[in-house]
Structure 1
């Protein structure tokens, strides 16, 4: 291994342990790597600009803006009401309704922390009033967060599609079955929790209440239909879909539900701009770092080292999943994907893993990493919303984590789970 490669690896771990923000870490190491290679420093600026020059990345600000507008526009509350009116009378019904709302909102926001924040802020107090422990409510809000990155549209899926040069539409489809499998597992946990803990059941609201809930929330239900229907119907690309979603959510929030006032709009725009700027800054510096890493041929070296441990694809996948899950809990998802993409693609090619399956496996591992104690970011979001300690939320989280780890196993070892739906649009 070259001196530059050693500096990059050691420097990455040291700077992250010292608490330097990931974007500054990657940018600094990229500059040091170029300096050690006597490369022209202007290359750094070229690589930074190249990181923003991919057309598909335009989908990110659109989906981020759509998510914020929908959250402020009252869509999450209406989705919860629809789900609660349908299944709230069942054992664990309100918890199941939370899972359903998280599934729908995940299909809107495309972000794990955003889903956790939206569902947690709406449902935590309601669940507690109905007999659920506050820690369980916080854990449930944390657990539904990864659904936002599994079920399309998913911002990490967009980024991986750009990095791996794979179809974003197929990657979106690859996440649907794993996302629904996780949601089904959460429903089972909701039922068992309510039965074991003796959570009081609410009365049947009747078909009239269901009809009213659907009528009040019909525009919220149509949001994923408009976005995903347009993509798979060939009406517009994922990038165009993000802008359509933002415009649609604006019209619904301002003119139909009238919960997004003109006074709130500048704050929503500022929030989305701040989030988009952070994401794009990380991507830019990660692209520059990845260029230096590729020049040092680190991906092929790491792949060779990994394959030297064993040539058994089952064991290699197990090692990869453990590595991705651990990294997802300590490193920003987008940064980790950019840093590791060339290595993961090389290993995937060596063991004959389908690129779409690999992309789904990577994104889902990182999504689950965001809820894994003690450093998962969504865990901090839920704790801050509920005012609970991290360890309290984590203690109630383990059944949900078992479900999510099981989904990772399905994605890794049962190819049709991620490849069947994408095969329908070949």
Structure 2
């Protein structure tokens, strides 16, 4: 009965618009007040969720992304993408998708992609005659590609939770991420042709080459990170620190756009974002501890397996559950709460933990562009100054592609496991 206090309290707080971290914390506190469990479990559970060496990679990667962004990397990635696909019908929309693919190696978060790229590309698309809703939709959905590629913060969280190789998780998301980007490019092109959106003149190879050199140092960072982790030269946390040093050098000495006076603001922004993520992880771990204490994981597993023992249908049930959860709960909170709960169910039907991790991240990424709690949807719509409903209508064909890729990745494990197995 007391678990109903937890669940109902959490749902009510979410519907009232209380931030997800506080909803988790307040509902957990209400539960504890109705039980004999001492309140000392709160700091203990929160600290156990935060106390991980690997978690240090999160602030370092965020700082590296902020430094690279302030150092002029965003503009150079956009210029390179525009030089490659700008001459195609709807080229600026396709540039949006291609830029997210390149920017993924810097930020590691979908929200950073939406805010950074959207602030540049959405106004540009509107000036060129693209619809406001379409501009917001492309920016929102394409940013979900980022967390599928290294350095992905959701993958770091999963690796920390389950003791899975973060390097393997990084490369396991590569093929699904590329499939997702390819699908979004096709949809963007098809819509652009139908609506006769503009295209630019084809750029000569010299311009393409120059723009590539401009973006080269940003793209090289991904290569360095993956080479170091997969080669065993450094851990993900050490790779994050190396990325920070690299960002300082590239932004300050190579591009010379990173100014010393900007450093305090960048560090302040990094600290704010890091604090919000770590607090969320801690409170989500407390919430998850209560679920385990109440045997919810076992009950959920038994409930799913009681419906059917068919592995195909079980995967479908898990995907449906995650899609619904992703519409209401922020990605990192959902991972901390549900990954340990659902992993045993997935393993019971033979799913590899790495494969399941990729599937779970991909499923929850779709939720970032869906109401009522889709943060990328809200940010993109805000930049475009367009109602949420209009953006959602434009997102419908993209949702179709995302779901199709999700089913492919879920039922064809080799799409996730081919590269990790190759590097064993």
TM-score bucket of the superposed structures, by smaller chain: over 0.9
Answering whether residue 309 of structure 2 is matched by residue 307 of structure 1, we say no
Alignment-derived partner of residue 94 in structure 1: 92
Deviations, residues 282-314 of structure 1 (Å, cap 9, x unaligned) = 111111222222122111011111221222222
Alignment-derived partner of residue 405 in structure 2: 407
Alignment-derived partner of residue 45 in structure 1: 43
Answering whether residue 348 of structure 2 is matched by residue 350 of structure 1, we say yes
Aligned in 2, Cα 1:32/1:127: closer, same or farther, shift over 3 Å? closer
Of 124, 127, 132, which aligns to 1:126? 124
Of 208, 213, 219, which aligns to 2:206? 208
* Coordinate RMSD, CA, aligned: 1.8
User: Which residues in structure 2 correspond to 1:179-190 (within 5 Å)?
Assistant: 179-190=177-188
Q: Take 1:349 and 1:337, find their aligned partners in 2: how far apart are those partners? A: 16
Alignment-derived partner of residue 57 in structure 1: 55
Q: Secondary structure at the match of 1:223?
A: helix
Q: Displacement of 1:22 after TM fit?
A: 2.4
Q: Displacement of 1:13 after TM fit?
A: 1.9
Q: Secondary structure at the match of 1:199?
A: coil
Shifted more, 302-311 versus 191-200: the winner is: 191-200
Alignment-derived partner of residue 235 in structure 1: 233
Q: Take 1:379 and 1:196, find their aligned partners in 2: how far apart are those partners? A: 24
**Conservation of the 8 A alpha-carbon contact between 2:83 and 2:211:** yes
Shifted more, 373-382 versus 212-221: the winner is: 212-221
Q: Take 2:147 and 2:345, find their aligned partners in 1: how far apart are those partners? A: 23
Alignment-derived partner of residue 418 in structure 1: 416
Deviations, residues 373-395 of structure 1 (Å, cap 9, x unaligned) = 34311000101111111112122
Q: Take 2:201 and 2:16, find their aligned partners in 1: how far apart are those partners? A: 54
Q: Displacement of 1:34 after TM fit?
A: 4.2
Of 254, 257, 270, which aligns to 2:255? 257
Aligned in 2, Cα 1:29/1:98: closer, same or farther, shift over 3 Å? closer
Q: Take 1:354 and 1:217, find their aligned partners in 2: how far apart are those partners? A: 36
Alignment-derived partner of residue 383 in structure 1: 381
Q: Secondary structure at the match of 1:146?
A: helix
Deviations, residues 258-284 of structure 1 (Å, cap 9, x unaligned) = 222122221111111111000000111
User: Which residues in structure 2 correspond to 1:270-309 (within 5 Å)?
Assistant: 270-309=268-307
Shifted more, 99-108 versus 20-29: the winner is: 20-29
Q: Displacement of 1:170 after TM fit?
A: 1.1
**Conservation of the 8 A alpha-carbon contact between 1:5 and 1:298:** no
Of 381, 390, 393, which aligns to 1:392? 390
Count of aligned positions: 424
Deviations, residues 300-345 of structure 1 (Å, cap 9, x unaligned) = 0111112212222222211211211121121111111112123211
**Conservation of the 8 A alpha-carbon contact between 1:329 and 1:377:** no
Q: Take 2:311 and 2:152, find their aligned partners in 1: how far apart are those partners? A: 28
Gaps of 5+ in 2: none
Deviations, residues 124-161 of structure 1 (Å, cap 9, x unaligned) = 22223334223222111111111111111110111111
Of 13, 16, 22, which aligns to 1:15? 13
Of 369, 372, 377, which aligns to 1:371? 369
**Conservation of the 8 A alpha-carbon contact between 2:106 and 2:218:** no
Shifted more, 257-266 versus 271-280: the winner is: 257-266
Of 26, 50, 54, which aligns to 1:28? 26
Alignment-derived partner of residue 216 in structure 2: 218
Q: Displacement of 1:406 after TM fit?
A: 1.1
Q: Displacement of 1:360 after TM fit?
A: 0.8
Q: Displacement of 1:186 after TM fit?
A: 1.5
Q: Displacement of 1:179 after TM fit?
A: 0.5
Q: Secondary structure at the match of 2:157?
A: helix
**Conservation of the 8 A alpha-carbon contact between 1:139 and 1:394:** yes
Gaps of 5+ in 1: none
Aligned in 2, Cα 1:212/1:302: closer, same or farther, shift over 3 Å? same
**Conservation of the 8 A alpha-carbon contact between 2:329 and 2:373:** no
**Conservation of the 8 A alpha-carbon contact between 1:182 and 1:404:** yes
Alignment-derived partner of residue 141 in structure 1: 139
Q: What is the TM-score of this pair, normalised by structure 2? A: 0.95
